[in-house]
Amino acid sequence: MEELSRNIVEALGLNPFWEQVFYALAIIVVAVVVFMAALTIAGLLTYLERRVAGRIQSRVGPNRVGPLGLLQWLADGLKLVMKEDLIPACADRPMFRLAPYAVVVGVFAAFVSVPFGQLLIAADLNVGIIYLLAITSLVSVGVLMSGWASNNKWSLLGGIRSAAQIVSYEVPSALSILSVVLLAGTLSMQGIIQAQGGQEYHAEFWARGGWPWNWFIFHNPFAFIAFFLYFTAAVAEGNRTPFDLPEAESELVSGYNTEYSGMRFAGFFLGEFANIYLMSAVATTLFFGGWQIPGILPEEQASSWSLQLMGLLIFVFKAAIGCFVVIWLRWTLPRLRVDQLMGLCYKYLVPFAFICLGGNAVYILLIKAGSTFDWIVHGAMTLFGFALVVYFFVRVTHHIRLVKDRVDFDILSRGTKKPFDPAVQTRRYGRHRKGARALEITGQQGKEIG
């Protein structure tokens, strides 16, 4: 961007002072674009969540606003914006107002270093992953602030729970990320992606680019476990079921955001959903080969726009699957208790994370990257992973057959569409509604049904 602004200034023959101005402008534009993209993603995720939850629960989910209900999130957002802005009487007003911003900033600022594509990244920081870990910690500050400022005991409990939870789960999360950093040898997000299939020894077609056996999740057994540790810790950091104790609906009413409504609530809400995408995107980057296309080296990809687009789609698809898994977990699992949550972190996740870190280090030391044994391990892990998926689907079909249900692939479930019957509408909603107008148009008399 610096180069770009310098070129513009030189072309226009302006004072070097303007270089700084153009640079600042460019930063603002990029920031707005990233913010808008993140907002849209978060909004669409709320739609996805409701839709998936609906299907999981034998329901349909939102399907009225727009085609397939796709605009539901816009309608909801509009509703939240228009709602009355309520602040409890004895709340700590400045803190109360500030808290949602901390959450929103914490999550959305992290989008800056999310690599959507090879060239589509706002800032490829050389400490990208550390930046992500650092900036998302701002969320816990916001949550704690809102819990305190609401002057509500439930909120306070929620805020305290959240602070304890996020601080604890940073440890296994960071440790399992470190495993990947060891394997990749870099902290930069793009560098980590490139390391999964873009190294010198990835020369053959079957070894080039984003084949599953190049992904870090299938790199070795320790990395495989590290992924699950990271994912668990990330779900916990994102306050999602089974770790949604800060907003445990049945215990703390709504936890730290009990007193929030309208736009401020929307801030928390969007922050939560943007966070889901964020953790899926990070998981995709660290463990699933990011935007790499199977059989194509990053250098080839950089030269073609269509390959770039394909890379973007691959990245978004992988991240969407991650989001789906998070949503699916939420609608399946019960919630842990607060002591069990800490126990899980310190008794299980942290020791395992240390083992993974050590295991990965030993693996790198003992086995030369690109050696035959290395490839055998990759292949075996990939086969193991696919075997797990296959076994899972066997269980799924078993459950469908168990209750003698029929398989139905109408996943979008448009619902039963009936032709509009003005007579029915008139009888149900009265004459001055849609039904009456339709009657006038068709000239029909309301006929009875029954």
Partner 1 sequence: MIEPTDNNPQRSELVLNMGPHHPSTHGVLRFVVYTDGEIMRRAQPDIGYLHRGIEKIAENKTYPGYMPFTDRINYLEAMFCNQAYAIAIEKILGITPPERAEFLRVIACELNRIASHQVTLGCIAMDLGAFTPFVYLLREREKINDMMEALCGNRLTHNYMRIGGVSADLDDTWLGNLEGFLDHFELILEEFTSLIVYNEILVKRLADVAVICAADAVGYGLVGPNLRASGVNWDCRRDLGYSVYPQLEFDVPLGRGERGTVGDCFERFVVRVEEMKQSCRILRQCLRKLPDGEIQAKVPKMIKAPKAEVYSCVEGARGELGVYVVADGTTKPYRVKWRTGSFSAMSIVEAISRGLMIADLVAVIATLDVIAPETDR
Partner 2 sequence: MGALSSYFSAVGRTIATLGDGLAVTFSYLFRKPVTLQYPDRTVEPLISTLPERSRGILEIDIDVCTGCTMCAKQCPIDCIHVEVVKDPETNQRMLTRFDIDIAKCMFCGLCVESCPASGLRHSHEFEGAMSDVARLMLHFVDKPLPVAKPPKKDEPVQTKPKGSIVREMLRDPWARTRKSKPKAEECGDIG
The two tokens of residue 247 are 């907003």
Shortest Cβ distance from residue 330 to partner 1 (Å)?
A: 8
* Phi, psi (degrees; rounded to nearest 5) at 404: 55, 40
Of residues 54, 66, 294, 385, which one binds partner 2 by CB under 8 A? 54
- Cis ω before 242 (30° cut-off from 0): yes
- In the bound state with partner 1, the residue whose beta carbon lies nearer, of 157 and 316, is 157
Contact partner, 425, from partner 1, partner 2, none, Cβ < 5-8 Å per class: partner 2
Q: Which segment (16-24, 145-153, 184-192, 399-407) binds partner 2 by CB under 8 A? A: 399-407
The span from the CA of 113 to the CA of 247, in Å, is 28
Cβ pair 267, 101 in contact under 8 A: yes
Residue (of 235, 243, 226, 245) closest to 349 by Cα position: 226
Cβ pair 186, 125 in contact under 8 A: no
**Half-sphere exposure at residue 152, Cβ-oriented, CA atoms within 13 angstroms:** 22
20 binds partner 2 (CB under 8 A): no
Site string for partner 2, 355-394 (x = CB under 8 A): -------------------------------------x--
Of residues 424, 437, 438, 439, which one binds partner 2 by CB under 8 A? 424
The span from the CA of 22 to the CA of 422, in Å, is 60
213 binds partner 1 (CB under 8 A): no
Shortest Cβ distance from residue 240 to partner 1 (Å)?
A: 11
Site string for partner 1, 402-431 (x = CB under 8 A): xxx---------------------------
448 binds partner 1 (CB under 8 A): no
Q: List the beta bridge partners of residue 294.
A: 209
Of residues 389, 432, 441, 445, which one binds partner 2 by CB under 8 A? 432
Residue (of 211, 377, 196, 173) closest to 286 by Cα position: 196
- In the bound state with partner 1, the residue whose beta carbon lies nearer, of 404 and 432, is 404
Q: List the beta bridge partners of residue 209.
A: 294
Shortest Cβ distance from residue 160 to partner 1 (Å)?
A: 8
Give, in degrees to the nearest 5, the angle at Cα 40 between 166 and 140. 15
* 83 three-state secondary structure: coil
The two tokens of residue 288 are 């699933």
Q: Give the CA radius of gyration of the chain.
A: 25
Shortest Cβ distance from residue 414 to partner 2 (Å)?
A: 10
Cβ pair 227, 353 in contact under 8 A: no
Of residues 16, 67, 339, 409, which one binds partner 2 by CB under 8 A? 409
349 binds partner 2 (CB under 8 A): no
- In the bound state with partner 2, the residue whose beta carbon lies nearer, of 93 and 399, is 399
Of residues 332, 371, 442, 444, which one binds partner 1 by CB under 8 A? 332
Of residues 7, 20, 40, 57, which one binds partner 1 by CB under 8 A? 57
Q: List the beta bridge partners of residue 256.
A: none
Contact residues for partner 1 (CB under 8 A)?
53, 56-59, 90, 151, 153-154, 156-157, 161, 241-242, 244-245, 248-253, 331-340, 399, 402-404
